[in-house]
């Protein structure tokens, strides 16, 4: 059923015949105001916005929310500034549309910068409106979605614009881990304007119309003499592949809103609620025999971990996050027997699934998000280890890699792990092993849980024996085979209880469903503290 509360002028009740002239005038005034509010910066600026291939703030909100559910607040607010011609124009709403509504029947708060009014620049009033929407979201315990399209801090308002951003950043920080926060980038986003999105949980960038940077190409040219275009500097592809600032890059505004709606379907409205279960559409006992032969016999031959994920979770339910950033790791949301779960894995197809700085950040951030919002974690571990090299060491692989251990150790949600192949050294420990208190750890028969791979181990342990042997190659091969037989398997770990069971790969789905069912009401708490000191 359509919800009441449309803000269109047509939603204003018809004037009844018995109304006096004074009553009619009151109603006409409301209608006039509503018309002005709807017109934003006027027809010409709306046309310019459309000519750039962009929707207006109101069109965006209407596309994002369930039809007719948007309830606007503060549409009458105007600025109080006079400098640089500001006194000449006081547009209603002041370049920001804020309010609340529903997405797939669930409540959300939303705001959208209106580029048709002073370039959507963020001033005192915009700050007050966003602050109110965020306060309402926190009080109601519902997600907040920001639609960003702005020239940044409103220059004419000076420190009042900066204060407005500061209030927004403060609220973003306090709301972090309490309600989901999603930023959709639909236009320019420069300077301090990038920090609110950066403080939110997910950033969705729309290709060709959005960009994000601290300083634009002109400033960069002056300061560092580098010449770069806007798209290369801070376009959707740059931030979704290179910097990791954006979690999703979409082809169109419509796709951005679809992404937000789908994302919300996995998330609870706030941190006190369980993640929303969906209707069960897939057989919990579905066992795909193709999984049994997916991992090649040769440990150096890659395979696609995405295939594992697609086959284990409810069909079609996997929504990858950060899909193009640090592709040696995979993170995303999926459903298992209808229950939302966070999926983390290595990708042997890309850099053999090694853990580098970007993969560490990607995994740690996602694990913490899932833990904050009661989303159980399921980890598919297959990594040869941390990335060696001077560049990685000097950029702090130690500090960044530590984030993964920290995030998993601290997570109190149900944690299930499947070691599919390489569980070598530090990578084995950090990827939600029993040793950092995963609840249940399973291994496939192809799992190799050891300090390192057979080749490397034999090189270190038996260098002298191999070089002094009459047939070094044969001796080497014999030792590698012996090492593999002894160490490159899951059974030593299983014999010590570090692996709870060795599964035939096809059994993974029903076994994870059963484990998740057991742990549904898991109780776990951390030592009392103000907050930990995560290695950032």
- Please state the closest distance from residue 438 (CB atom) to ligand HXC, in A: 40
- As a whole number of angstroms, the distance between CA 368 and CA 512 comes to 21
- The smaller minimum CB distance to ligand HXC, of residues 121 and 433, is found at 121
**Torsion sign over Cα 251, 238, 364, 327:** positive
Verify binding: residue 121, ligand HXC, rule CB under 6 A.
yes
Verify binding: residue 193, ligand HXC, rule CB under 6 A.
yes
Q: Tokens 């229950």, residue?
A: 339
DSSP 242: I
Catalytic (active site) residue 192:
yes
Among 99, 119, 299, 340, binds ligand HXC (CB under 6 A): 119
Cα separation of the two ends of the chain: 47
Among 136, 162, 220, 502, binds ligand HXC (CB under 6 A): 162
Q: Determine the interface stretch with ligand HXC among 147-155, 369-377, 382-390, 392-400 (rule: CB under 6 A).
A: 147-155
Among 34, 58, 60, 154, binds ligand HXC (CB under 6 A): 154
- The smaller minimum CB distance to ligand HXC, of residues 199 and 372, is found at 199
Q: Tokens 């579905």, residue?
A: 286
- As a whole number of angstroms, the distance between CA 266 and CA 277 comes to 8
Residues 337/341/344/345 CA torsion (nearest 10 deg): 0
Among 118, 354, 378, 457, binds ligand HXC (CB under 6 A): 118
Among 191, 244, 445, 535, binds ligand HXC (CB under 6 A): 191
- Please state the closest distance from residue 150 (CB atom) to ligand HXC, in A: 7
| Helix ranges, 210-356 (H) | 217-224, 230-234, 236-237, 253-266, 305-312
Verify binding: residue 142, ligand HXC, rule CB under 6 A.
no
- The smaller minimum CB distance to ligand HXC, of residues 117 and 246, is found at 117
- Please state the closest distance from residue 127 (CB atom) to ligand HXC, in A: 10
The mark string for 74-113 relative to ligand HXC (x by CB under 6 A, - otherwise) is ----------------------------------------
Closest CA to 194 of 171, 175, 169: 169
Verify binding: residue 209, ligand HXC, rule CB under 6 A.
no
- The smaller minimum CB distance to ligand HXC, of residues 155 and 429, is found at 155
Length of the chain equals 536
Q: Determine the interface stretch with ligand HXC among 190-198, 247-255, 410-418, 482-490 (rule: CB under 6 A).
A: 190-198
Catalytic (active site) residue 140:
no
- As a whole number of angstroms, the distance between CA 5 and CA 414 comes to 40
Among 27, 131, 136, 155, binds ligand HXC (CB under 6 A): 155
Verify binding: residue 189, ligand HXC, rule CB under 6 A.
no
Among 127, 143, 188, 490, binds ligand HXC (CB under 6 A): 188
Catalytic (active site) residue 426:
yes
Question: Could you tell me what percentage of the chain is helix, strand and coil, using 3-state DSSP and rounding each to the nearest 5?
Answer: 45, 15, 40
- Please state the closest distance from residue 159 (CB atom) to ligand HXC, in A: 10
Verify binding: residue 333, ligand HXC, rule CB under 6 A.
no
- As a whole number of angstroms, the distance between CA 471 and CA 458 comes to 15
Catalytic residue among 192, 235, 345, 353: 192
DSSP string, 41-106: T-HHHHHHHHHTT---HHHHHHHHSPTT--EEE-TT------GGGGGG---TTTTEEEEEEEETTE
Q: Burial letters for 207-227: b for 16+ Cβ neighbours within 10 Å, e otherwise?
A: bebbbbbeebbeebeeeeeee
- As a whole number of angstroms, the distance between CA 483 and CA 472 comes to 16
- The smaller minimum CB distance to ligand HXC, of residues 39 and 304, is found at 39
Element (H, E) at 508: helix 508-518
Verify binding: residue 192, ligand HXC, rule CB under 6 A.
yes
Catalytic (active site) residue 427:
yes
- The smaller minimum CB distance to ligand HXC, of residues 27 and 162, is found at 162
Contact positions vs ligand HXC (CB under 6 A)? 118-119, 121, 151-156, 162, 165, 188, 190-193
So which residues are the catalytic ones?
191-192, 426-427
């Amino acid at each position: 059923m359509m919800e009441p509360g449309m803000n269109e002028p047509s939603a204003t009740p018809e004037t009844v015949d018995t109304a006096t002239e004074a009553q009619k005038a009151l109603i006409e005034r409301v209608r006039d105001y509503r018309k002005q509010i709807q017109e934003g910066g006027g027809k010409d600026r709306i046309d310019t916005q459309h000519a750039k291939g962009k929707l207006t703030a109101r069109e965006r909100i209407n596309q994002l929310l369930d039809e007719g559910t948007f309830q606007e607040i503060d549409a009458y607010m105007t600025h109080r500034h006079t400098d640089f011609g500001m006194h000449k124009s006081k547009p209603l709403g002041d370049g920001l549309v804020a309010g609340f509504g529903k997405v797939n029947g669930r409540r959300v708060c939303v705001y959208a910068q209106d580029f048709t009014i002073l370039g959507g620049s963020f001033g005192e009033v915009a700050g007050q409106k966003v602050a109110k929407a965020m306060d309402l979201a926190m009080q109601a315990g519902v997600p907040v979605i920001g639609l960003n399209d702005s020239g940044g801090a409103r220059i004419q308002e000076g420190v009042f614009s900066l204060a407005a951003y500061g209030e927004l950043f403060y609220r973003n920080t306090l709301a972090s881990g309490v309600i989901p926060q999603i930023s959709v980038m639909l236009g320019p986003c420069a300077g301090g304007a990038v920090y609110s999105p950066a403080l939110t949980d997910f950033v969705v960038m729309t290709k060709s119309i959005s960009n994000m940077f601290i300083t634009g190409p002109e400033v960069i040219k002056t300061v560092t003499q580098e010449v770069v275009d806007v798209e290369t500097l801070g376009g959707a592809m740059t931030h979704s592949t290179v910097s990791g600032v954006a979690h999703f890059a979409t082809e169109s505004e419509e796709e951005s809103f679809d992404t937000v709606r789908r994302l919300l379907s996995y998330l609870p409205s706030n941190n006190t609620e369980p993640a929303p279960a969906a209707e069960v559409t897939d057989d919990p006992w579905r066992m795909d025999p193709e999984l049994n032969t997916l991992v090649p016999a040769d440990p150096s031959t890659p395979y696609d971990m995405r295939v594992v994920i697609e086959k284990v979770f409810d069909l079609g339910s996997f929504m990858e996050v950060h899909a193009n950033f640090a592709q040696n790791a995979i993170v995303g949301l999926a459903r298992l027997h209808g229950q939302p779960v966070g999926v983390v894995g290595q990708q042997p197809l890309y850099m053999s699934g090694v853990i580098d700085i970007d993969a560490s950040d990607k995994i740690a951030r996602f694990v913490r998000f899932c833990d904050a919002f009661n989303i159980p974690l399921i980890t598919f571990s297959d990594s040869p280890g941390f990335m060696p090299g001077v560049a990685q060491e000097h950029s702090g692989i130690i500090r960044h890699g530590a984030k993964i251990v920290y995030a998993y150790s601290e997570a109190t949600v149900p944690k299930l792990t499947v070691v599919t192949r390489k569980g070598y050294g530090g990578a084995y420990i950090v990827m939600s092993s029993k040793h950092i208190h995963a609840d249940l750890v399973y291994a496939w028969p192809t799992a190799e849980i050891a300090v390192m791979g057979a080749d490397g181990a034999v090189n270190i342990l038996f260098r002298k024996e191999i070089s002094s042997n009459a047939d070094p190659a044969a001796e080497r091969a014999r030792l590698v085979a012996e090492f593999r037989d002894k160490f490159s398997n899951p059974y030593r770990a299983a014999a010590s209880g570090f692996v709870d069971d060795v599964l035939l790969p096809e059994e993974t789905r029903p076994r994870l469903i059963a484990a998740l069912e057991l742990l549904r009401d898991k109780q776990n708490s951390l030592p009392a503290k103000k907050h930990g000191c995560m290695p950032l």
